[in-house]
Amino acid sequence: MATDIDAQGKVWHREIDVIIKHLKSEVKKIESKQMVVLNKQQEETNQIMDEIEQTILDLKKALDSNDINFVYAYRSRNNEFREMPPDHSLSLPRFIPENIDTKQLQEQFGSLSMMPDLTYENEFAMKTKVSDDDSIYENDSTVKTTDAENSLLDEPKMIVARNTGRYTRKSRVIHHDVVKRNTEFRNLPPEVNVSLPRFHSQKIDTKKLQEQFGSLSSMSDSMYENESAMGNLVSDVNAEYENEFTINTTGKEASMPKEPKIIVARNAGQGVLNSLVWLNDNEIWTSGQDSTIKLYNLQGELLSSIQTKSGNWPWDIAITRSGDLLYTDPKDRTVNKVRSNQIQVVTRLESWWTPRSICGTHTGDILVLEVSYDEKQTQVVRYTDSSKKQTIRVNRNGKPLYSFGYYNKFICENKNLDICVSDYGAGAIVVVNQTGKLRFIYTGSPGTTEGLFLPSGIATDSQSQILTAESNSQCIHIIDQDGQFLRDIKHNDLHFPRVLCMNNSGNIFVAEWEAQVFDVGVQETETSRRLNLENGANYKLFVTKDSIDLGDFNRQEIKIKWPLKYIRRYGFHTRNLFMLEAGRRCETGEGCFNFFIDRNQKELKMAIDNAAYDQSEGAFSVKFRTLRN
């Protein structure tokens, strides 16, 4: 029986080995197929690189040539080269072990036959009795056993006694004891019939065995990417700017791709958006440069709108843990709560302070970023109901944690209860813990930030990662809860992100600035000669919320970036000649630049005026994107 069980065990081990080999073989097949795809992609990329190198050689040859026909015949292939072969997001299937059903396994392995009950046999029990005393004692000198006695013993036994000629009392006692013991010994215990069970092996159900062992997850089709950092770009979108809140999504786009995706073209009703906050996965509150806070769904339908109590613009909006809407009114110095379309004043600040950014906390408190009336102090205040509970203003050395001035700052609470502030004026993300103790200051990643780090909107995700919109490098920075840079979300169609928010599904909603663009020509000056700007050549001037950029005619590159705060002066010498004077902290160094502009002179002046007045509010269009972290 034990041998049979061991033999069945060996069969099972062989079957499990077969299952393991099969799964490993499937993994190798998948790896082989993916290597074919990657090798093909590498060949296509190498071919494009060879063509680019050849084009560069042709251009160098053209520069050295006097053949005007060669120049006129030249056609730029830059747009063609930008269309790189799609990246393939290849992922191996995962092995998913299953819980072992011991009962089912035992049924497949085999079983023991039922063991019968023990039976008692009395056929060999002694049933005879010894006869009376005189029957075994005769006149001879020996005492013999009876036939019944012989049938019960393996060997004949005799009791021998000598005849002394006297039958004494002592002899009678001995005789009685012997008879008594014989009767006792004849009553042997009953015999027991014992039968061992048999092992019955079962046929192995390989399918069920493999189901219990585990399986490979089905591998999704390869996703085509244009940016390896963020994932799948579903399709190109040519957003049309209209006079109403519109969403240009298809069913495919509605799956919330990982790559930056424009879904909303323009919100003309509110101008520049100052704040966004998710109510739920499908509805979002927005506020801008008017007194109306609006609730939209992802189809662009206006679901609800609320007028501020004072008629002023709300600076920022937020959602409480219970789903109530919060907004700040700097001119009225109030923090307000909207519940059931009724506006309640949570608190009115002292005359010296004005509320700016706001957020709800996991504990039900409210965090308000406040700026002094003279804009020389900034603090974060925690309110429980309407009572001030905590004030955060300086570090342990007594130095201010936050910059002062009119520059925008945004606030949010992380999942680990840290308080995160994006400080545009300081060029930093300032993070303190729940007690107000400084944890870290993030000033950007050298590998991803060109020049200044200029954060604006801020949000956190379910993994306590911090996301901030950064307009200088035109991307979304993602850092971990300890201030370590993880990656950025960067794409050619993502321009000057301003504010953002994230819902529970991990979708990011971004409102961004879009720069106004003006065609200009360069008038030669000493400064332009020093920077090798070609006299009379056509350039484009990009006016953003925080800089003026000079790029080539097709905007294939930005040649010069002048931060607005480092420009000393600007204006028109004549109707068609625009001048700006750069300060010494600009990358160009100090000096004057003159540009010819044939049209849109007033628009250029107005755009720079608005941006210079407040780098967080200007005459720019706003676009939205939905991203997945």
Confidence check: pLDDT of 78 > 50: yes
Confidence check: pLDDT of 314 > 60: yes
Question: Which of 326, 358, 393 is the endpoint of a domain?
Answer: 393
Q: Which one of 134-138, 399-403, 446-450 scores highest in mean pLDDT? A: 399-403
Question: Which of 344, 359, 393 is the endpoint of a domain?
Answer: 393
Q: Does residue 253 belong to any structural domain of this protein?
A: no
Identify the weakest region by mean pLDDT among 352-361, 525-534, 613-622: 613-622
Q: Does residue 531 belong to any structural domain of this protein?
A: yes
Q: Does residue 30 belong to any structural domain of this protein?
A: yes
Is-above-0.85 flag for pTM? Answer: no
**387 and 415, same domain (yes or no):** no
**153 and 106, same domain (yes or no):** no
**16 and 99, same domain (yes or no):** yes
**28 and 107, same domain (yes or no):** yes
Confidence check: pLDDT of 533 > 50: yes
Q: What domain count does the chain have?
A: 5
Distance CA 582, CA 588 (A): 7
Q: Does residue 511 belong to any structural domain of this protein?
A: no
**80 and 212, same domain (yes or no):** yes
159 — pLDDT class (breaks 50, 70, 90): low
CATH code for the domain of 603: 2.30.29.30
Q: Are strands 485-490 and 475-479 parallel, antiparallel or unpaired?
A: antiparallel
Q: Does residue 579 belong to any structural domain of this protein?
A: yes
Residue 294: strand pairing partners: 286, 305
Of residues 594 and 509, the one with the higher pLDDT is 594
Distance CA 274, CA 469 (A): 13
Q: What is the pLDDT of residues 35-51, one digit of tens each?
A: 888 888 888 888 888 88
**419 and 380, same domain (yes or no):** no
217 — pLDDT class (breaks 50, 70, 90): low
**39 and 173, same domain (yes or no):** no
Q: Does residue 622 belong to any structural domain of this protein?
A: no
**411 and 297, same domain (yes or no):** no
Identify the weakest region by mean pLDDT among 202-216, 326-340, 391-405, 449-463: 202-216
**426 and 560, same domain (yes or no):** no
The pLDDT score that the predictor gives to residue 398 is 92
**446 and 587, same domain (yes or no):** no
- On the 0-12 / 13-18 / 19+ scale of CB atoms within 10 A, 539 is buried
Q: Does residue 234 belong to any structural domain of this protein?
A: no
Q: Does residue 252 belong to any structural domain of this protein?
A: no
Distance CA 376, CA 391 (A): 16
DSSP category for residue 617:
S
E strand map for 414-491: 419-423, 428-432, 438-442, 455-460, 466-470, 475-479, 485-490
- Tell me the percentage of the chain whose pLDDT exceeds 70: 65
Of residues 357 and 552, the one with the higher pLDDT is 357
Q: Containing domain of residue 530, as a range?
A: 516-613
Q: What is the pLDDT of residues 199-213, one digit of tens each?
A: 666 667 777 776 767
202: left (phi over 0), alpha (psi -120 to 50) or beta: beta
- Tell me the percentage of the chain whose pLDDT exceeds 90: 25
Q: What is the pLDDT of residues 95-141, one digit of tens each?
A: 666 667 677 777 777 777 655 554 444 444 444 444 444 443 444 44
> What CA–CA distances, in Å, run from 617 to 271, 315, 565, 621, 623?
10, 11, 14, 11, 15
The pLDDT score that the predictor gives to residue 613 is 62
The pLDDT score that the predictor gives to residue 333 is 94
**426 and 568, same domain (yes or no):** no
**170 and 286, same domain (yes or no):** no
